[in-house]
Structure 1
Amino acid sequence: MSHNKPLIKVFEYALNQEETGKLFFQTALQRLGMGAAVSAFRRLIAEEEKHIAFINRILDELHQGREVDPGQLQDVILEPTDYFDERAKKEFLEQCIQGSMVPDVTVFNTAWLIEKDLSEFYAGMAEKAVGKTKSALEMLSKWERQHELFFRQFRDKLSETYAQMPWGG
């Protein structure tokens, strides 16, 4: 088990970050009042729960002195999700603008930063890893990158829209 100690620390850190992200999304649900955003955040929470399950399984293997084997974790592997179809995305942005939901811009920005940090962390660790550990970290990075892109898209669009609003009411 001692040869797994550095990996255990990496995945324990990752687990903590995933749990922090999940908690943020759960808290954000209380601030968001619209169906489309609430629905998307619920799906993201479910995905974060899968990430947590994936990491917990890896940690179980490492604690037992075994190698990481993402192939053994197929039941927690996620398919890419399109959180909103194009029509729902357009409607969501229109609702944000009509409702002048500036706090939602902050929620989306914070969520983007959380996912960006995790994606970069996993990518950086994957560069240092080999074999199946590298594959597991690359999978996690890819999942987080999808979340990062989702939040960045909305953050950018909402910020651009607000910046183009007329000044002075």
Structure 2
Amino acid sequence: MKDIKSIFKYAMGIELQGIEFYNENAAKLSNVTGKAIFEELVDTEREHYEFLKEELEHYEKTGAIKATKEELLKRMRIERNMFEDREKSEHLKETIVESDIPDITILKMAYLIEKDAVDFYNRVASETEDENLKNIFEMLASWEQGHAALFKKEYQRRMEEYMRTPWGG
């Protein structure tokens, strides 16, 4: 396994890629709901980045992982609850379906970005013997898996609609 500093730096890069993608594509959307979803993901990915940055800085100073399993479980509950609360209050699934995302390739790219993050975080978690590091990357994988599932489902739905559309309108 690569050294922990390199792993954290790579993970931070993944989160920055997500921030950039959602930020750029939020600016392209005319639908207010679709724009809000992407803007929220910018904030979420930024929180993930800041969390990783804090862990890296702590590791560089102390040679140890800062977050305990209890802290990580609390963070997981908070993020899961925020996402579920927003989904219920704004009917997130329905509003994504109704949004004007002009090109299904945006959804595919969003899914692939999240899937790559999930794969990387799961791989790090499975290859480390450090229990705290394993817990951090399992938590990150879980968060990103929720994002990936949302985009994959919507991408598949849109592709099915596209394939049923008569050619020539």
Task: State whether TM-score is above 0.5.
Answer: yes
- How many residue pairs end up in the alignment? 159
1:40 and 1:84 in contact (8 A); partners too: no
CA gap 1:139/1:63 in 2 versus in 1, 3 angstroms: same
Q: CA deviation at 1:43?
A: 1.2
Q: Which moved more, 1:114-123 or 1:158-167?
A: 158-167
Following superposition of structure 1 onto structure 2, how do residues 69-80 of structure 1 map, counting pairs within 5 Å? Answer: 69-71=66-68, 77=75, 78-80=78-80
Normalized against structure 1, the TM-score is what? 0.84
- Segments of structure 1 that go 5 or more residues without pairing to the other structure are none
CA gap 1:92/1:125 in 2 versus in 1, 3 angstroms: closer
2:112 and 2:148 in contact (8 A); partners too: yes
- Segments of structure 2 that go 5 or more residues without pairing to the other structure are none
Question: Deviation string for 1:6-37 (max 9, x for gaps)?
Answer: 00000101101111110110000121111111
The percentage of aligned residue pairs carrying the same residue is: 26
The answer as to 2:108 corresponding to 1:109 is yes
2:8 and 2:52 in contact (8 A); partners too: yes
Query: Which residue is 1:39 aligned to?
Result: 36
Query: Which residue is 1:153 aligned to?
Result: 153
Alpha-carbon RMSD? 2.2
Q: CA deviation at 1:150?
A: 1.2
Question: Deviation string for 1:126-153 (max 9, x for gaps)?
Answer: 0011310100010111111111111111
Q: Which consecutive segments of 4 or more residues in structure 1 shift more than 6 A? A: none
Query: Which residue is 1:90 aligned to?
Result: 94
Question: Deviation string for 1:66-89 (max 9, x for gaps)?
Answer: 311323866x93421146448453
Could you say what secondary structure the match of 2:62 adopts?
A: coil
Tell me, in whole angstroms, the C-alpha distance in 1 between the residues paired with 2:54 and 2:92.
35
Q: CA deviation at 1:102?
A: 4.0
1:127 and 1:134 in contact (8 A); partners too: yes
2:16 and 2:49 in contact (8 A); partners too: yes
CA gap 1:94/1:164 in 2 versus in 1, 3 angstroms: farther
